[in-house]
Amino acid sequence: MNELTYKNKKLQFAGQDISTLTKKFKTPFFIYSEEMLTENYEQFSQGAQKAGLIDPLICFAMKSNPNKELVKILAKLGSGADIVSGGELKRAIEAGIPAEKIVFSGVGKTQEEIEYALKLKGQGLNSFNVESLEELELINQCAKKLKKQARICFRLNPVVQPKTHKYISTGNKTHKFGLLEHDILLSLKEKKYWSHSKLVGLSVHIGSQLLDLKATKKALVRLSEVALKTECPLEFLDVGGGLGVDYHPDETHKLPHIETYMNLIAETLEKAFYAKTDLRPRIVFEPGRRIVAKAGLFVMKVLRNKVSEDNHFVIVDGGMNDFMRPSLYGAYHALLPVKDAPKTQKCHVVGPICETSDCFGSDRPLPPLKSGDLLVLKDTGAYGYSMGSNYNLRGRPLELLLEKKKKIRVINKAQDYSELT
C-alpha cells in the first residue's frame, strides 16, 4: 500500500487529505493509519507462518509506540507484547493482551515490577527475559515469597556487532544487555536460582534498525548453540526484534523483505538447531519499528522563515521534544510539503526548542513555504510520541487514528498548560 500520495497537489495519507485535518485539529500532531498498522502486522505474522516457523508468537515491542488504541488493534490481531516496565505491563493488559503472550525485557526491572508481574492472574507471563544473574536471584526470591513459579528466559549476549547506530546496537560485550554463554551455563548448575524459577526459553536481540542480516544470522547460530548446551527442554526461542525500515530512499534497496528475514531464520535454525535435536520450541519475535514506524506521520505547521545569508531556516511548530530521533541519532526522516509545488530552495527545517540539534532536516529541497503552510515528517509511528518529553515546558502533542472506515478519532489529547507540572 502506498501510504503517501498527492491528489490534486494535496498530500493524502492512506487516502486521507492532510490539509482538511488541520482545519479541525491543532498542529503539531501524530496521525496513525489503522489499515497500515494492520497490514504491517499481518505481513509479519503471515511471513513467519509461510516460512514454516513453529507456532510463531509476535510480541510487539511496546516501547516503540505504547498508545493504548494502537495496542488494542494489535491485541485483536493476536499480538503479544514485549514490555520493559511496569507501566507498559499495565498498558498491555488493559489493551487486552493476555499475560501468557507477554515477555518482560530490560536490564533494570525493579522488585516492584517483578512482583507486579508475578501477581498477575492465571499462569503469568510468557517469560521474564533475564539480563543478569542478580536479576534472576531477585526474581526467584520474589516468586518464593509469593508462592509462584517464575518462567525464565535468558537473553543471550551473542557478542556480535550489527551495522547500525551505536546507540541502538545491543549485542556486544561492551553493551549492558544480555548474558554471556558462560554465565548462563554456570547459573544452570546453581540451585539457589531455581527453587521457584524454571528456564523455558532463550532470546537474543542485537539492536534496532537492522538492514544487514549478517549479524542476525550469527546471533541465531549463537542462540542455537547455547540453547542446545543448556540441555533444557526449552519451550521457545525468542529471536528478538530490530528489523529495519527504509527511512531514507537509499535504504530502500537494502531493506530486507519479511520473506527474506523469515527464511533466514528458518534456514539458520534448521541447520544450527533442528538438525541436532528433537526439540521443536515455538518461535517468539519482538518487532516494534517494523510494525508501527511507517503507519505514522507527524504533521507540523510553518511558523516563519528566517534567512541568515545562505542559510534558509524554516521554523515549524513541532520540536525535538515531540520527535527526538533526528536530534538524538541524527536520524533521517523525509519531509514533505502538504501542498505539492516545485522544490526550488534548500532549507533547514527547525523547531522552536533552544537547542541547535532541534533540526528535522538540513539542506532539504522544498517549495517556498510561508507562515501557516504544512509540513509532514514521514515514518514517525515508532519511537516518536513514546520518546517525547515536555522539554522547554511544551505540552505533548495530539495523537489521531485514521480508522479503517476512514473516520478520524482522537486517541490522545494534546496537553494544555494546566496539565504541565
Ligand X SMILES: *Cc1c(COP(=O)(O)O)cnc(C)c1O
* # chain residues binding ligand X, by CB under 6 A: 17
Quick note: the x/- pattern for ligand X over 57-76, rule CB under 6 A, is: ----x-xx------------
Among 33, 67, 79, 105, binds ligand X (CB under 6 A): 105
Q: Which contacts qualify for 254-258: CB closer than 8 Å, 24 or more apart?
A: 254/211, 254/212, 255/211, 256/210, 256/211, 256/213, 258/43, 258/44, 258/47, 258/290
Q: Pick one of 124, 158, 242, 281: the residue that binds ligand X (CB under 6 A).
A: 242
User: Per CB under 6 A, does 294 bind ligand X?
Assistant: no
Mind giving me the DSSP string for 366-418? E----TT-EEEE-S-SSSSGGG---GGGPPPPEEEEE-TTS-EEEEEPPP-GG
The residues assigned a catalytic role are: 354
Give the β-pairing of 29-33 and 398-402: parallel
Nearer to ligand X, 331 or 359 (CB): 331
Least distance to ligand X from the beta carbon of 6, Å?
A: 29
- CB 170, CB 123: distance < 8 Å: no
Three-state SS at 85 = coil
Q: Return all residues near 116 (Cβ < 8 A) that are at least 6 apart.
A: 86, 89, 90
Of positions 101, 218, 289, 294, contacts ligand X by CB under 6 A: 289
* Closest to ligand X by CB, 82 or 322: 82
Q: Which three cell numbers stand for residue 260?
A: 527474506
Compute the least distance from the CB of residue 242 to ligand X, in Å.
4
Q: Is 80 in the site for ligand X (CB under 6 A)?
A: no
Q: Which of the 8 DSSP states describes residue 55?
A: S
Q: Find the binding residues for ligand X in span 197-226 (CB under 6 A).
A: 205, 208
Tell me the β-bridge partners of 302.
Answer: 316
Residue type at position 353: I
Nearest distance, CB of residue 373 and ligand X, angstroms: 32
- What residue number has its CB nearest to ligand X? 288
Q: Which is nearer to ligand X, 288 or 337 (CB)?
A: 288
Residue 85 as a binder of ligand X (CB under 6 A): the answer is no
Contact footprint for ligand X (CB under 6 A) = 61, 63-64, 82, 105, 205, 208, 240-243, 286-290, 382
